[in-house]
């Protein structure tokens, strides 16, 4: 089966110009500020989003000024309430400034600014730490170029109710990729098979970057010890949870390669992944099966608060 250079525009996806912010319906919002969204979406956002949501979508960005406004619109218009965290690596095209403008208008949008671009993995680690500090229960990875469909988020959340990590798979029960040349598809499929053979992980798409972590899953990983940065970051995060026998499940997704901007793929990223797979095998005591035991469940914020109150009570 070959899927070659199929240019399909996903519904709701705009091709934006340099003046995209001005063209996104400059209607005044209820607080008197110009709104980037339609009245229907603005009404939706104003209804109850000031309370703490349990879900946050982490989106690393570097030169994504054309994609970020429509992506934000799609995420905030979902039927489930989610927050958005933009982790910007000092984009020279002004993506960070656009993210700040969105955050100033919508309480559910947050921004982390990093001083320089030093890799996808480091950006996600920064986002994960922030999400844990804020108490979120479900933490997503999502590309900022529309290669991942935000409309799949409710499906991920449903699967995450009974699992610790949900992986979006491009290869589960078939191939679902749009706008890739055959060479790129063969590289991706070969990488997935290579990871399976070396590590023993049974997943069809271990290099994929559309994921939903439960809070306890991220807490089971020593985030400061994550070594990888490119695609191997995805492999390492999944392997660390799988070998601890946490529950990992795959759900089918459609992957659409970016229509705007440039791919971040490089030879260094591929080499890093080739080496990292063997390092993970050694860390797992040269076993191709889970070797650890599931970590104890950490107390929820509510449970921890009750325990703290109990400790403060005087002893009779």
pLDDT in tens, the chain (316 residues): 433 333 333 333 333 334 444 444 433 343 444 444 443 333 333 343 344 689 999 999 999 999 999 999 999 999 999 999 999 999 999 999 999 999 999 999 999 999 988 889 999 999 999 999 999 999 999 999 999 999 999 999 999 999 999 999 999 999 999 999 999 999 999 999 999 999 999 999 999 999 999 999 999 999 999 989 878 999 999 999 999 999 999 999 999 997 555 555 556 767 888 899 999 999 999 999 998 788 776 665 555 554 445 544 544 4
How far is residue 88 CA from its own chain's centroid? Answer: 14
- Rg, C-alpha atoms of the chain: 20
pLDDT at 2: 38
Query: What token pair was written down for 104?
Result: 């100033």
Whole-angstrom distance, CA of residue 77 vs CA of residue 109: 13
CB 65 within 8 A of CB 95: yes
Residues present in the chain in total: 316
Q: Is 31 buried (19+), middle (13-18) or exposed (0-12) by CB count in 10 A?
A: exposed
Whole-angstrom distance, CA of residue 108 vs CA of residue 76: 8
pLDDT at 270: 74
CB 152 within 8 A of CB 79: no
pLDDT at 109: 98
């Amino acid at each position: 089966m070959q899927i070659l250079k199929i240019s399909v525009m996903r519904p709701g996806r705009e091709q934006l110009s340099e003046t995209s912010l001005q063209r996104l319906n400059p209607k005044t919002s209820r607080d008197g500020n110009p709104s980037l969204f339609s009245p229907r979406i603005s009404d939706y956002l104003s209804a109850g989003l000031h309370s703490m949501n349990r879900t946050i979508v982490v989106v690393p960005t570097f030169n994504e000024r054309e994609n970020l406004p429509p992506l934000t619109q799609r995420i905030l218009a979902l039927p489930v309430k989610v927050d958005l965290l933009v982790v910007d690596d000092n984009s020279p095209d002004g993506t960070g400034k656009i993210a700040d403008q969105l955050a100033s208008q919508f309480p559910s949008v947050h921004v982390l600014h990093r001083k320089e671009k030093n890799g996808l993995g480091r950006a996600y680690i920064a986002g994960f730490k922030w999400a844990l500090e804020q108490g979120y229960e479900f933490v997503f990875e999502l590309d900022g170029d529309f290669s991942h469909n935000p409309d799949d988020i409710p499906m991920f959340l449903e699967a995450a109710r009974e699992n610790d990590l949900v992986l979006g798979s491009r290869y589960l029960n078939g191939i679902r990729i749009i706008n890739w040349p055959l060479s790129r598809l063969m590289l991706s499929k070969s990488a997935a098979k290579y990871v399976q053979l070396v590590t023993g992980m049974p997943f069809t798409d271990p290099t994929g970057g559309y994921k939903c972590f439960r809070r306890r899953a991220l807490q089971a990983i020593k985030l400061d010890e994550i070594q990888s940065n490119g695609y191997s970051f995805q492999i390492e995060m999944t392997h660390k949870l799988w070998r601890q026998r946490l529950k990992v499940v795959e759900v089918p997704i459609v992957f659409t390669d970016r229509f705007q901007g440039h791919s971040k793929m490089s030879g260094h990223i591929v080499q890093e992944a080739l080496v990292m797979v063997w390092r993970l095998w050694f860390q797992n005591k040269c076993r191709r099966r889970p070797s650890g035991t599931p970590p104890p469940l950490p107390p929820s914020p509510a449970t921890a608060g009750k325990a703290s109150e109990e400790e403060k009570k005087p002893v009779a």
